[in-house]
């Protein structure tokens, strides 16, 4: 089959970095091509070049055998390239249909035959009103209405005809409309004559602006929304993307929002879809659904580029895998003829331990004890409905479960960030139910938050300031209210070296770091003070294989030092690899608890899906 | 703010830190005494230096060149200059561009030009316009920075033993500039501190009024108090009253989530209308003047020199406030908390900080600083408070904080620039008959250019700075955030 996209020797330099170094590849029609690589390997840069967000320094891009020059996303869209970004580009307060149509409506919707009729009608009505009011005579008003309506219809017709004749669409003819409107006004002024007609002219001008300016064109877009919704329904049926076009995007789960993004590209008639780490934000179920959709798309002739750093997913879905490392293409593979270990080694450049190496736990006293804990989420729903669990020193308790079953809120309540409505939390024998976050921290609790950019870091602040976010007020970083600048710097340098935070300088803002290094900053901060209990929520979300290995090793090291570890994760593999005991959360309860040695993927999966719910409460209490 | 780094003296620093605590205190006291004793002369030197700034700049460059000889000559000096001054390129070009556009507007609004054109004398019209322009900008410069030739002459006169008065007359411009910049510094610091704490304090105008009123009230009362008690009392009461007033907005935000933009605007109106009533009612000294009594002489912020140099101790207070704000924000744990809450309240909560407390604290401190702007005007310039006390310092201060990138040093620099423009404007009006509104246009253009540096970069084909410039400052988060 002929390649639909071919990139040859593409090189892209950023100041101080060679992001892509002579990368060549081709994408065949109807194929799912996976790009595998660590964070910063150059996958996203390459795709941004194809999508026109960056331009390459060297190399050629060919689409359907033709050399192309993609300067901006609009060029890419015209060539049938669509991109779904890792961070969705959706407006939460708009409906699905509005989000999908957004960006296309001013060029397409106002300039249709129907909107011509509407615009002419509205203008004629305005002219009639304006004529009657300012001239005081119905006959004059009718005459003005007739003239105005005809003029508008003529203008619109002209624009539409020009648009039909042109390949570039209607956008080019906005200046024509603007110029024509000015000419029309001047002509009207000459015909009607005299300064006393100025009020009329003003009314005319406002009327014309209202019907011809796309951003003011509320009526026509409102009408065309129906056509849009119809097309969206058609598309979602065709590809099995179940979405309600009238729903508000902000109310939809992440997985459905992603479908909206895919629909957005399909609406723009994309043939080549780039999915940039689409599974990073999805639950396992949503990921499976996405894969079904991807198969449906390729089944109907679309081609997909799938960017990921998750080996398992790539092995499952891809027809072909390209591995990038350090901006260079280091290998290609067909999943059925390769293995995860082989790909991981290609990706990282050395042998990677996919299995966490840990000895048997030497278990101590109970550190964290939670009983009957209840809490509400921000919208007032009861998300924790009586959670009982305990964690002992020197063991890892893994809390598995599908995202949104109360894990987030559980961690927040334990760390004092969310009030409990009932039950109790005891840490090292002390009651800390509804204690302030600082008290919890000072008891020796470390917290790796689920959303590192929202809760764990102050992105505009220097790395070093982020390293003392929880301890800045303690000796030796402060004496009374005075920050000890030198001590803080010294600590920052030492710790960032110890935890291998890769940055040119610790005074650079934390937002300059890659995701893996941002997580290392948090780990460095939390592990560099004496702790008894570690609460880690999704500690490896969005990280590459190398960083995951690193974080896992550090977690096990803490456990071996006698720290009690509560690990909350939606990655079943992570839970199974690290935990000594596993608890499964479902709809705000712990529905099952077992020793890690007894756990199987299937068993846990059933519990996560709610199969253990009918069991008696006494039987499911952990331990 | 001394020039750090030009001549680092670790040996001296070690010497001082090696001393016992009492000795260091004594040393500081002696130093303070000496500075107080010679303050008059220090200020005079400062004013002369401002008036002769090209000479000072030249001397500075020569000194730097002398030092660079020891460090490897020109490359070292060039690095030093570019690293220190690269941040100034855009502001300086902004000012120049704004003045150029101001010049065009001056010519385009000059009636003499149109009159000549109407008579068909195009060249003569342009000539008249240019002459008017030169007159206007010369007045602007002299009003703000004095006439360097006159200053040099007056120095000669004084060295001859013929008295100080001509020198004082000649440095009136620089003095006016500094006097005008005092309220700007305070108010700009107030808004900048708010920005750092994640709060958009639009209420500086009202807080200035509160501070002013409170300070004047204390200043007119307590007859018989010695100045060493009366003056600080008036200052502190003025600042704290304004701070408490502003803290209301912080409290509302912390407790109810009310957005501070709304509450501070509304609190402004409360101040404006209440002061209308107070000044034309209970506090009015003479019927029909809408003005309070003058404050007692023991509460006056003293001036350094005789008429016409009106520079008063408020300037020193303002600089001290800038230094204190900088120290607070960047060197204290309280400031660290405040900035963290401003940059990411979620992370602040995670780090165990009390977000609500910091909102109230930030508004209180912001209000204190804004109040000091009013205090310095009331105790240093007008010595009373009258109905027309609102002169836009509070609203200009928002622009100042933006210009200064919410950093105390930047705010002081921006305030000095505004001081220059404002001091020059009044002279331009009185001497050249050009309305001060022209200067307001120039001010606004400067702000636009600095706020949108892309314009200046495009105009002068500047390359983008290699590293992204200063750290990102969260000016305000969305409504209801």
Q: How many CB atoms lie within 10 A of CB A6?
A: 18
pLDDT at A622: 41
pLDDT tens per residue across span B431-479: 888 888 888 888 888 888 887 888 888 888 776 543 333 333 333 343 3
- Sorted by where each begins, the domain ranges of chain B are 172-416
pLDDT at A206: 60
Q: Give me A175's structure tokens.
A: 């200046």
Identify the closest residue of chain B to A525 by CA–CA distance.
Answer: B351
CB pairs under 8 A between A and B: 72
Find out whether A56 and A10 touch, Cβ atoms under 8 Å.
yes
The Cα of B40 is separated from the nearest Cα of chain A by a number of Å equal to 34
Residues facing residue A583 across a β-bridge = A399, A593
The residue ranges of DSSP E strands in B325-394, in sequence order, are none
Identify the closest residue of chain A to B342 by CA–CA distance.
Answer: A458
Q: Which fold does the domain A353-444+530-623 belong to in CATH?
A: Rossmann fold (3.40.50)
Among the ranges given (A123-132, A491-500, B367-376), the one the predictor scored with the smallest mean pLDDT: A123-132
Q: Give me A450's structure tokens.
A: 């689920």
Q: State whether the Cα torsion B428-B432-B436-B442 is positive or negative.
A: negative
Among the ranges given (A181-185, A592-596, B351-355), the one the predictor scored with the smallest mean pLDDT: A181-185
pLDDT at A203: 60
Give A623's pLDDT tier (boundaries 50, 70, 90): very low
Q: Using the beta-carbon criterion (under 8 Å), do B346 and A454 form an inter-chain contact?
A: yes
**Which chain B residues are closer than 8 Å to A457 by Cβ?**
344, 347
Find out whether B377 and B300 touch, Cβ atoms under 8 Å.
no
Q: ∠A263-A269-A272 over CA atoms, to 5°?
A: 85
Residues facing residue B61 across a β-bridge = none
pLDDT average, residue stretch A441-452: 93
Q: State the distance between the two ends of chain A, measured CA to CA, in whole angstroms.
A: 58
Give B172's pLDDT tier (boundaries 50, 70, 90): very high
pLDDT at B295: 94
Of A396, A399, A386, A393, which Cα lies nearest the Cα of A429?
Answer: A393
Can you tell me the distance from the alpha carbon of A465 to that of A472, in angstroms, rounded to the nearest whole number? 8
**Strand A81-84 relative to strand A272-276: parallel, antiparallel, unpaired?**
parallel
Helix %, strand %, coil % of chain A (to 5)? 45, 20, 35
Portions of chain A given CATH number 3.40.50.300: 3-80+271-348, 353-444+530-623
**Of A119 and B357, more confident:** B357
The Cα of B53 is separated from the nearest Cα of chain A by a number of Å equal to 35
Find out whether B360 and B227 touch, Cβ atoms under 8 Å.
no
Identify the closest residue of chain A to B331 by CA–CA distance.
Answer: A483
Q: State whether the Cα torsion B312-B318-B321-B326 is positive or negative.
A: negative
Residue B116 has pLDDT above 80, yes or no: no
Highest mean pLDDT among A145-149, A305-309, A469-473: A469-473
Instruction: DSSP letter for B468, please.
Output: -
Can you tell me the distance from the alpha carbon of A284 to that of A35, in angstroms, rounded to the nearest whole number? 20
Assigned superfamily of A3-80+271-348: P-loop containing nucleotide triphosphate hydrolases (3.40.50.300)
The Cα of B61 is separated from the nearest Cα of chain A by a number of Å equal to 30
Residue B270 contacts A where some CB pair is shorter than 8 Å: no
Q: Output the furthest CA–CA distance in chain A (Å, rounded).
A: 99
Residues contacting residue B207 through CB under 8 Å, at least 6 positions apart: B190, B201, B242, B243, B245, B246, B271, B366, B367, B370, B371, B374, B394
Which one of B344, B352, B466 has the shortest CB-CB distance to A470? B352
Among the ranges given (A9-18, A386-395, A562-571, B198-207), the one the predictor scored with the smallest mean pLDDT: A9-18
Residues contacting residue A429 through CB under 8 Å, at least 6 positions apart: none
pLDDT average, residue stretch B197-225: 94
**Of B255 and B109, more confident:** B255
Instruction: Tell me which H or E stretch contains B181.
Output: helix B172-196
**Strand A3-14 relative to strand A81-84: parallel, antiparallel, unpaired?**
unpaired
The residues on A that touch B, with CB distances below 8 Å, are: 15, 415, 417, 436-438, 441-442, 447, 449, 454-462, 465, 469-470, 472-473, 478, 481-483, 485, 509, 511
Helix axes of B39-51 and B53-71: crossing angle, nearest 10 degrees: 90
Share of chain B above pLDDT 70, in %: 94
Q: How many CB atoms lie within 10 A of CB A13?
A: 14
Residue with tokens 């209801």: B480
pLDDT tens per residue across span A479-529: 889 999 899 999 999 999 998 888 888 999 998 887 788 999 999 999 999
pLDDT at A274: 94
- 3-state secondary structure (DSSP) of residue A266: helix
Residue B4 has pLDDT above 70, yes or no: no
Q: State the distance between the two ends of chain B, measured CA to CA, in whole angstroms.
A: 36
Instruction: Tell me which H or E stretch contains B105.
Output: helix B89-108
pLDDT average, residue stretch A166-191: 57
Find out whether B196 and B372 touch, Cβ atoms under 8 Å.
no
Can you tell me the distance from the alpha carbon of A321 to that of A336, in angstroms, rounded to the nearest whole number? 10
Find out whether B292 and B283 touch, Cβ atoms under 8 Å.
yes
Among the ranges given (A154-163, B92-101, B209-218), the one the predictor scored with the smallest mean pLDDT: A154-163
Residues contacting residue B409 through CB under 8 Å, at least 6 positions apart: B1, B322, B326
Give B417's pLDDT tier (boundaries 50, 70, 90): very high
Give B122's pLDDT tier (boundaries 50, 70, 90): confident
**Of A117 and A175, more confident:** A117
CA dihedral A35, A40, A44, A45 (to 10 degrees): -120
Chosen for mutation from B13, B197, B198, B333 (greatest number of chain A CBs closer than 10 Å) is B333
Which one of B331, B343, B346 has the shortest CB-CB distance to A461? B343
Can you tell me the distance from the alpha carbon of B338 to that of B328, in angstroms, rounded to the nearest whole number? 10
Instruction: Tell me which H or E stretch contains B60.
Output: helix B53-71
- Total length of chain A: 623
Can you tell me the distance from the alpha carbon of A581 to that of A568, in angstroms, rounded to the nearest whole number? 12
Of A426, A435, A384, which Cα lies nearest the Cα of A407?
Answer: A384
If you write DSSP's letter for every residue of B222-273 in order, what string do you get?
-TT--HHHHHHHHHHHHHHHHHHHHHHHHHHHHHH---HHHHHHHHHHHHHH
Identify the closest residue of chain A to B347 by CA–CA distance.
Answer: A455
Q: Using the beta-carbon criterion (under 8 Å), do B333 and A478 form an inter-chain contact?
A: yes
pLDDT tens per residue across span B123-134: 777 788 888 889
Can you tell me the distance from the alpha carbon of A27 to that of A4, in angstroms, rounded to the nearest whole number? 6
Give A211's pLDDT tier (boundaries 50, 70, 90): low
**Which residues of chain B from 273 to 332 reach within 8 Å of chain A, CB to CB?**
331-332
Q: Using the beta-carbon criterion (under 8 Å), do A455 and B346 form an inter-chain contact?
A: yes
Q: Using the beta-carbon criterion (under 8 Å), do B333 and A456 form an inter-chain contact?
A: no
- 3-state secondary structure (DSSP) of residue A321: strand
Residue A430 has pLDDT above 60, yes or no: yes
- Total length of chain B: 481
Q: How many CB atoms lie within 10 A of CB A517?
A: 22
Residue A106 has pLDDT above 50, yes or no: no
Q: Using the beta-carbon criterion (under 8 Å), do B352 and A441 form an inter-chain contact?
A: yes
> Prior bond to B447 cis, omega within 30?
no
**Which chain B residues are closer than 8 Å to A441 by Cβ?**
352
pLDDT at B118: 72
Of B371, B326, B464, which Cα lies nearest the Cα of B4?
Answer: B326
Of A487, A517, A519, A522, which Cα lies nearest the Cα of A505?
Answer: A517
Task: Please state, rounded to an integer, the average pLDDT across all residues of chain B.
Answer: 87
pLDDT at B438: 85
CATH no., domain B172-416: 1.10.3470
pLDDT at A399: 95
**Which chain B residues are closer than 8 Å to A483 by Cβ?**
331-333, 335-336
Find out whether A404 and A609 touch, Cβ atoms under 8 Å.
no
Residue with tokens 């010519």: B107
**What backbone torsions phi and psi does residue A91 show, to the nearest 5 degrees?**
-100, 110
Which one of B331, B351, B473 has the shortest CB-CB distance to A483? B331
- 3-state secondary structure (DSSP) of residue A496: helix
Residue B153 CB-density burial (10 A; 0-12 exposed, 13-18 middle, 19+ buried):
middle
Q: State whether the Cα torsion B76-B80-B81-B82 is positive or negative.
A: positive
Residue B35 has pLDDT above 80, yes or no: yes
Highest mean pLDDT among A5-14, B408-417, B456-465: B408-417
Task: Please state, rounded to an integer, the average pLDDT across all residues of chain A.
Answer: 82
């Amino acid at each position: 089959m002929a390649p639909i996209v071919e990139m040859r020797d593409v090189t892209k330099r950023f100041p101080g970095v060679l992001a892509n170094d002579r990368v060549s590849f081709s994408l065949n029609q109807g194929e799912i091509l996976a790009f595998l690589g660590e964070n910063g390997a150059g996958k996203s840069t390459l795709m941004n070049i194809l999508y026109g967000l960056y331009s390459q320094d060297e190399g050629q891009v060919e689409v359907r055998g033709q050399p192309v020059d993609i300067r901006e996303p609009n060029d890419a869209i015209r060539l049938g390239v669509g991109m779904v970004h890792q961070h969705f580009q959706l407006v939460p307060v708009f409906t699905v249909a509005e989000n999908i149509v957004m960006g296309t409506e001013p060029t397409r919707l106002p300039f249709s035959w129907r909107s011509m009729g509407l615009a002419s009608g509205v203008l004629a009505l305005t002219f009639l009103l304006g004529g009657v009011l300012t001239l005081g005579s119905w006959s004059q008003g009718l005459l003005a209405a007739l003239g105005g309506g005809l003029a508008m219809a003529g203008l619109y017709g002209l624009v539409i005809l020009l648009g039909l004749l042109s390949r570039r669409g209607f956008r080019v003819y906005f200046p024509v409309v603007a110029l024509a409107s000015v000419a029309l006004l001047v002509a009207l002024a000459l015909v009607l004559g005299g300064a006393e007609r100025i009020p009329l002219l003003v009314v005319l001008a406002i009327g014309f602006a209202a019907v011809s300016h796309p951003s003011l064109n509320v009526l026509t877009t409102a009408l065309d929304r129906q056509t849009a919704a119809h097309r969206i329904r058609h598309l979602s049926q065709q590809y099995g993307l179940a979405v309600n076009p009238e729903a508000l995007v902000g109310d939809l789960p992440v997985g459905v929002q992603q479908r909206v993004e895919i629909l957005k590209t399909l609406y723009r008639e994309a043939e080549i879809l780039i999915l940039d780490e689409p599974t990073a934000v999805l639950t396992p179920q949503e990921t499976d659904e996405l894969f079904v959709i991807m198969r449906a798309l390729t089944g109907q002739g679309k081609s997909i580029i799938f960017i990921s750093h998750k080996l398992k997913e790539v092995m499952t879905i891809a027809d072909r895998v390209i591995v990038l490392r350090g901006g260079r293409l280091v290998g290609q593979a067909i999943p059925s003829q390769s293995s995860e270990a082989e790909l991981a080694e290609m990706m990282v450049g050395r042998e990677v331990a996919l299995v966490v190496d840990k000895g048997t736990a030497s278990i101590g006293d109970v550190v964290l004890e939670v009983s009957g804990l209840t809490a509400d989420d921000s919208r007032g729903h009861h998300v924790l409905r009586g959670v009982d669990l305990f964690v002992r020193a020197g063991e890892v308790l893994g809390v598995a479960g599908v995202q949104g079953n109360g894990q987030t809120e559980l961690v927040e309540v334990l760390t004092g960030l969310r009030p409990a409505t009932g039950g109790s939390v005891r840490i090292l024998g002390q009651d800390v139910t509804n204690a302030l976050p600082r008290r919890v921290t000072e008891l020796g609790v470390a917290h790796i938050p689920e959303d590192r950019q929202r809760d764990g870091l102050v992105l505009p602040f220097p790395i070093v300031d982020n390293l003392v976010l929880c301890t800045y007020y303690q000796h030796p970083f402060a004496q009374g209210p005075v920050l000890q600048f030198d001590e803080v710097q010294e600590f920052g340098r030492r710790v960032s070296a110890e935890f291998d935070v890769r940055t040119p300088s610790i005074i650079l803002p934390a937002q300059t770091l890659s995701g893996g290094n941002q997580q290392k900053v948090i780990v460095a901060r939390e592990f560099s003070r004496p702790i008894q209990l570690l609460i880690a929520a999704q500690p490896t979300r969005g990280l590459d294989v190398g960083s995951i290995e690193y974080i896992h090793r550090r977690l096990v090291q803490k456990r071996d030092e006698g720290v009690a570890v509560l690990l909350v994760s939606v990655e079943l593999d992570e839970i199974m690899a690290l935990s000594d005991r596993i608890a499964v959360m479902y709809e705000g309860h712990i529905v099952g608890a077992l020793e890690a040695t007894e756990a199987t993927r299937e068993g846990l999966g059933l519990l996560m899906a709610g199969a253990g719910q009918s069991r008696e409460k006494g039987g499911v209490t952990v331990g | 703010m001394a020039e750090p780094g030009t001549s680092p003296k670790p040996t001296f620093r070690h010497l001082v830190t090696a001393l016992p605590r009492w000795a260091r205190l004594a040393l500081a006291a002696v130093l303070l005494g000496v500075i107080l004793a010679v303050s008059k002369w220090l200020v005079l030197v400062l004013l002369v230096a401002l008036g002769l700034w090209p000479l000072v700049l030249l001397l500075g460059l020569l000194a730097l060149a002398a030092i660079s000889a020891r460090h490897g000559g020109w490359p070292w000096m060039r690095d030093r200059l570019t690293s220190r001054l690269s941040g100034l390129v855009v502001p300086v070009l902004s000012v120049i561009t704004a003045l150029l556009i101001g010049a065009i507007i001056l010519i385009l609004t000059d009636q003499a030009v149109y009159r000549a054109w109407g008579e068909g004398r195009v060249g003569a019209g342009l000539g008249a316009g240019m002459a008017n322009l030169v007159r206007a900008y010369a007045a602007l410069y002299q009003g703000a920075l004095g006439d360097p030739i006159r200053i040099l002459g007056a120095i000669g006169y004084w060295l001859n033993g013929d008295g100080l008065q001509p020198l004082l007359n000649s440095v009136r411009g620089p003095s006016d500039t500094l006097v005008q910049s005092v309220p700007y510094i305070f108010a700009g610091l107030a808004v900048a501190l708010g920005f750092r704490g994640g709060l958009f304090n639009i209420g500086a105008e009202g807080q200035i009024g509160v501070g002013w009123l409170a300070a004047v009230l204390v200043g007119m009362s307590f007859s018989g108090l010695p100045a060493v008690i009366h003056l600080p009392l008036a200052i502190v009461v003025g600042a704290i009253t304004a701070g408490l007033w502003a803290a209301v907005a912080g409290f509302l935000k912390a407790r109810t989530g009310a957005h501070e933009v709304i509450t501070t605007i509304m609190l402004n109106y409360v101040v404006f209308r209440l002061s209308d009533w107070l000044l034309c009612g209970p506090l009015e000294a003479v019927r029909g003047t809408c003005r309070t009594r003058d404050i007692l002489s023991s509460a006056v912020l003293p001036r350094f020199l005789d008429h016409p140099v009106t520079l008063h101790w408020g300037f020193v207070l303002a600089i001290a406030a800038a230094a204190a704000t900088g120290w607070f924000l960047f060197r204290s744990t309280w400031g660290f908390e405040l900035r963290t809450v401003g940059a990411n309240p979620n992370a602040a909560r995670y780090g165990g900080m009390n977000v609500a407390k910091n909102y109230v604290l930030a508004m209180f401190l912001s209000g204190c600083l804004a109040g000091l702007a009013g205090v310095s005007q009331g105790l240093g310039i007008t010595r009373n408070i009258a109905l027309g006390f609102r002169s836009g310092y509070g609203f200009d201060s928002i622009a100042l904080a933006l210009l200064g990138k919410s950093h105390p040093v930047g705010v002081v620099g921006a305030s000095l620039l505004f001081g220059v423009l404002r001091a020059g404007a009044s002279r331009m009006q009185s001497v050249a008959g050009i309305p001060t509104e022209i200067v307001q246009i120039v001010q606004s253009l400067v702000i636009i250019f600095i706020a949108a540096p892309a314009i200046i970069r495009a105009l002068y084909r500047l390359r983008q700075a290699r590293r992204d410039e200063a750290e990102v400052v969260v000016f305000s988060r969305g409504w209801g955030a």
